[in-house]
Amino acid sequence: MTETLLAPDIHVPAGACVAIVAPGGYAPDEAAVARGIALLEAQGCKVKSYYDHAARHQRFGATDAGQQAAADPEVQVVIALRGAYGMSRILPVLNYEALAASGKLFVGYSDITALHLALLAQTGAPPIGPSKRLPIPKCRSSSPCAAPTACRASCRC
């Protein structure tokens, strides 16, 4: 196999380094994480898990391991373990410029969609990953927007 399928239209080369992070919910079944990692490895990926089941807090999986994964030069794809609203609690402390400049593919559910939209609002970086198909509202104002970057993320003009 020469490519690993992560989503219907997103492929990474075999041998890509994939990071597992958990900004949202933790894994209730620790064995399921191991099975998922084994599946990725069987598809030719090198997997680095930034998820520590013992480090979970309440119903959340972790804090800002996504930034650690983005800073790792070996990692090409960052996959969120689960969706949840946990990303919203760490959005204020993320280094958006570093995340956007990392060139990583961020893949996940609602938590990563929140990250994609925050990256768009803070840096203008377009979403890359499964949520890239989300329609981004166009500004309906006839005058230039006072905050054009933020407007692109959630226009109410």
pLDDT in 10s for each residue of the chain, 157 residues:
444 444 455 566 678 999 998 888 788 888 988 998 998 898 889 999 988 887 777 777 765 566 788 889 999 988 888 877 778 888 888 889 988 888 888 888 777 888 888 999 999 887 765 544 433 344 444 444 443 333 334 334 3
- Widest CA span of the chain, in angstroms? 55
What are the sequence ranges of the domains in the chain? 3-153
CA–CA distance, 108 with 126 (Å, rounded to integer)? 16
CA–CA distance, 141 with 118 (Å, rounded to integer)? 22
Compute CA 121 distance to the chain's CA centroid, rounded to the nearest angstrom: 15
- CATH of segment(s) 3-153: 3.40.50.10740
Structure tokens at 71: 């800073």
Q: What is the pTM of this model?
A: 0.71
